[in-house]
Amino acid sequence: MAASSKTRPYISSRFVLELEDSSAGQYMGTLQTIEGGTFKSEVLEEKVGGTGAVTKYPGRPKFDDVTIQVGMAMAPRFWRWISKSFSYDAERANGSLVALDFDNKERWRRKFTGALIREVTFPTLDGAAKEPAYITVKFAVESIKEEASGNNQYPGEQNHKDEWERQRMWLPSMFTFKIDGISQDPAETCKIESFSVKQEIIENPIGKFLENQKEPGRVDFPTLGVTILQRDAGPWMKWWDKLVREGKHELSQQHNGHIWFLPRDAVGSGQLQRKPLLTLDLFGVTILGLGPVKHDSKQQQLQKVKLDLACERIDLQGGEGTV
């Protein structure tokens, strides 16, 4: 006997993120992946006198972090949410994760409240990369509730088509990097290894509330692993000598810098022709290490040098490619 249409399973073809603005959900963009957001509770055990039996029942609910992967075409509101957490001005967000089927109909909706950015991981930027890459964002929530879907048509199909066009504008090989006063040509960086910005989240259980409140804590900025050509290592070696060998730790030896995520057609005649899709401004950069990259005498390889650069702060700005 064939299953009725109500009992048939469905295939989710698209996941979207909404963030509330004045209590209304605003479309932020399509997600590549969603993971986590599981709701569960602690187990409370109570021994029953005289029998040896143990009664178990649920205690305070707990909600796992949500991890999503996003491209460059997310809405400016989404990038501002991340940027504020980088700037020690963390914003709690309410919103929804929505699953759509192949007909662009809403199949399920999970509403969350009190979301705080916990970690943002940027992919490896490599001039030799040929595959797409995405930014991974993990956020903590105070509560999650799954709501029944009305199986209604989800609005914004044209936005979805335009969004994929913008996403296709970027590859992880399309980037530039510069440290002011050190690197003269931002186009010469070969590779920047994947790095993360992390914010500590502190749980605050309050008796009159069932769910734990969560508060933002310290923000931890990464040490960047940057690979350049050996021929360009001179200014970096001089910087390292002054800072480490000569022990000149004054503020004048700290520099600011930038990482630009570029659309495919951004560079023409050696100059930037369009605004970056995303910009990371680096502050208080210090060189910690410098050394040759492993070489194989059996292969013809360009000589390269690996740099370790600590950052005191990173600011994020969404650019031209966002919705």
pLDDT at 258: 94
User: What pLDDT is attached to residue 212?
Assistant: 77
Count of alpha carbons within 13 Å of 85, Cβ hemisphere only? 29
> Where is mean pLDDT largest: 39-53, 138-152, 203-217, 260-274?
138-152
In angstroms, the Cα distances linking 139 to 16, 37, 71, 211 are 15, 9, 17, 16
| pLDDT interval class at 69 (50, 70, 90) | very high
C-alpha 228/C-alpha 178 separation (Å) is 11
The residue type of 284 is G
Task: Decide if 111 contacts 142 (C-beta within 8 A).
Answer: no
128: left (phi over 0), alpha (psi -120 to 50) or beta: alpha
Cα(286)–Cα(284) distance, integer angstroms: 6
What's this model's pTM, rounded to 2 decimal places? Answer: 0.86
Asked whether the beta carbons of 43 and 56 are under 8 A apart, the reply is: yes
Window from 170-174, 186-190, 245-249 with minimum mean pLDDT: 186-190
> What Rg value do the Cα atoms of the chain yield, rounded?
24
Of 202, 22, 11, 198, residue with least CA distance to 95: 22
Please say if the pLDDT value at position 248 is more than 80. no
Taking alpha carbons only, the member of 197, 169, 187, 218 closest to residue 319 is 169
H-only helix segments in 113-233: 157-167
3-state DSSP assignment of residue 240: helix
What pLDDT, on the 0 to 100 scale, is given for residue 245?
77
- Report the pLDDT averaged over residues 307-316: 96
CB count, 10 Å around CB of 250? Answer: 9
**What is the structure's pLDDT at 199?**
97
Q: State yes or no: pLDDT of 218 exceeds 80.
A: yes
Q: Report the DSSP beta bridge partners of residue 223.
A: 310
pLDDT digit string (tens) for 29-42?
889 899 998 887 77
Q: What's the rounded Cα separation, in Å, for the pair 253 and 246?
A: 11
Q: pLDDT-based confidence at 321, cuts 50/70/90? A: very low
Q: Is 181 left (phi over 0), alpha (psi -120 to 50) or beta?
A: left
Q: Which residues contact 97 (CB under 8 A, 6 or more apart)?
A: 15, 16, 17, 18, 31, 34, 37, 66, 68, 109, 110, 112
pLDDT tens-digit series, residues 77-119: 999 999 999 999 999 999 999 988 878 888 889 999 999 999 9
